[in-house]
Structure 1
Amino acid sequence: MVTIRKKLVPDAQANKVTYGKGNSKKYIVVHETDNTRSGADADAHARLQANGNSRSASWHYTVDGKEAVQSFEHAWRCWAAGSNKGNNEGIQVEICVNADGNYLKAVQNTAELVAKIMKDEGIPISNVVQHNHFSGKNCPRNMREGKISWSQFITMVKNASGNTQQPKPSTDDDKYRVLTGTYSTKQAAENVQDVLKHRFGWVAYIEPDGDKYRVKTGTFTGMDAAQAGANKIKTAKLAQVTNIVAE
């Protein structure tokens, strides 16, 4: 079963980018992010929403090859489907298409998530629809172009319907930060900070270390999340060395 993690948008921010609560939850609307940049995974999109998305858009879940991250409870009427009916009656699910991700696994994880939502909310599979259903937009684009066909996806959802138990949540509530190795110039540190903030959607700070500089992230809850953050920094080749420090 796909790991589902919550990083909910605060109500004050949610009220700026939704129609408020009252979603009738009749549909599950499947989208793709269309963001192919490396690092544009579920965590990055969830952090973007939590930190205050400047776009007039919002969605309930983002899914990649590792996890599904929930940004809004189902009651919120998010701005994603391109029509009032789709927004007021739909639970919006975005599939990541980042170049450094695993699209097939992301689609499989989305199928498992959709099966769980169907069970939780009593939504029939006939009401699992594409973004295109409500707005005519070519979304989810890769699926519509046959990279994985819509019929294959629906079959995945049906196959996942018998395995929708939610995994046990982590009990590690401690807070951690990731600290990079040193950079010889402040500009180099600022370049890394810019990627962490604007591509990954993270909070990040620059700290002097003698005549050099380090970049420190905002807090992660749990060692697993912090380790995943450190690995992501290394995979993006932003730092050769990272350290995880407790708050």
Structure 2
Amino acid sequence: MVTIRQKLVSEAQAKKVTYGKINKRKKVVVHGTDNYRTGADADAHGRLQYNGNSRSASWHWTVDSKEAVQSFNHVWACWAAGTDKGNQEGIHVETCVNPDGDYKKTLQNAAALIAKILKDEKLTINDVVQHNYYSGKNCPREIRSGNIPWNEFLKMIQNAGSTQVPKPSTDNKRYRVLTGTFSTRQAVENVLDVLKHRFGWICYIEQDGKLWRVKTGTFVGMAAAQAGANKIRTAKLAQVTYVVGE
């Protein structure tokens, strides 16, 4: 069972990084992010696309060991396959390889997601291909290296369970996360850079006397804010974090 969440890119942004709403939806294309940095999970990649990816690239889904995040509806022909044919007929699924995740669980979640896509789009297991199928790129690298072989992954899709859509949060209050203080401006700027460009977060630097800290943009609900604070600590960007209400 995989938890599915949408963070859809705006139509204006989608027009900049896709061929438009011309996707034939004939294949499900499996990718690996090749992003081995701590914190490079589905949320971070989803936010990257949502906030305006600076690269000429786009994909429909990102999956990690916790959830699957959708960035584009399947009608959009995303730039992910490396060929026009692949871009114009593929539904592209990126699997995360972040070291703070569980790669086997990521592939289990990806299998459940792809099983759902196959059912929704009236496709079959024969329509699931690797990125390599179109461009020859060594992708998804982990699967192709034998870290859960391709045939085993296809069996996982065939045996996959159902999906779960999160219940709407009853806590609609807005919260921010604050880090503890840093003694130098350079140290706090290094943390800010990671949060903005790796995690895709909106965040700011605040001065506290002769010290500095990072303040994030708002999270909706205490659970989301606490997850953000935990993510900062897990990535060892700050030893202390605080959640504050708006």
* TM-score > 0.5 by shorter chain: yes
CA distance in 2, matches of 1:168, 1:204: 26
Is 2:83 aligned against 1:83?
yes
Displacement of 1:206 after TM fit?
0.5
CA distance in 2, matches of 1:18, 1:246: 38
Could you give the per-residue CA deviations for residues 22-57 of structure 1, whole angstroms, max 9, x where no partner exists? 212111100001111112111111111111111110
CA distance in 1, matches of 2:55, 2:163: 34
Structure 2 equivalent of residue 9 of structure 1 = 9
Which amino acid in the other structure matches residue 126 of structure 2? S
Structure 1 equivalent of residue 117 of structure 2 = 117
Check whether the contact 2:30–2:95 (CA below 8 A) recurs between aligned residues.
Answer: yes
Structure 2 equivalent of residue 206 of structure 1 = 205
Structure 2 equivalent of residue 56 of structure 1 = 56
Is 2:216 aligned against 1:225?
no
Aligned runs of 1:1-247 on 2, under 5 Å? 1-160=1-160, 163-172=161-170, 173-247=172-246
Displacement of 1:186 after TM fit?
2.1
Could you give the per-residue CA deviations for residues 4-36 of structure 1, whole angstroms, max 9, x where no partner exists? 111111111111110011212111100001111
CA distance in 1, matches of 2:220, 2:229: 13
Displacement of 1:114 after TM fit?
0.5
Aligned residues: 245
CA distance in 2, matches of 1:24, 1:213: 51
Moved more, 212-221 or 71-80: 212-221
Q: Residues 175, 118 of structure 1: CA spacing in aligned structure 2 closer, same or farther, 3 A cutoff?
A: farther
Displacement of 1:64 after TM fit?
0.9
Check whether the contact 2:3–2:163 (CA below 8 A) recurs between aligned residues.
Answer: no
CA distance in 2, matches of 1:199, 1:139: 21
Displacement of 1:171 after TM fit?
2.5
Could you give the per-residue CA deviations for residues 54-95 of structure 1, whole angstroms, max 9, x where no partner exists? 111000111111111111111111000112221111110000
Task: Give the secondary-structure state (helix, strand or coil) at the position aligned to 1:20.
Answer: coil
Q: What's the TM-score, normalizing by structure 1? A: 0.94
Task: Give the secondary-structure state (helix, strand or coil) at the position aligned to 1:157.
Answer: helix
CA distance in 1, matches of 2:193, 2:75: 34
CA distance in 2, matches of 1:185, 1:60: 40
CA distance in 2, matches of 1:221, 1:28: 32
Unaligned runs of 5+ in 1: none
Displacement of 1:167 after TM fit?
3.0
Q: What's the TM-score, normalizing by structure 2? A: 0.94
What is the identity percentage for the equivalent residue pairs of Structure 1 and Structure 2? 68
Which amino acid in the other structure matches residue 30 of structure 1? V
Displacement of 1:188 after TM fit?
1.8
Check whether the contact 2:63–2:95 (CA below 8 A) recurs between aligned residues.
Answer: yes
Task: Give the secondary-structure state (helix, strand or coil) at the position aligned to 2:112.
Answer: helix
Unaligned runs of 5+ in 2: none
CA distance in 2, matches of 1:175, 1:75: 33
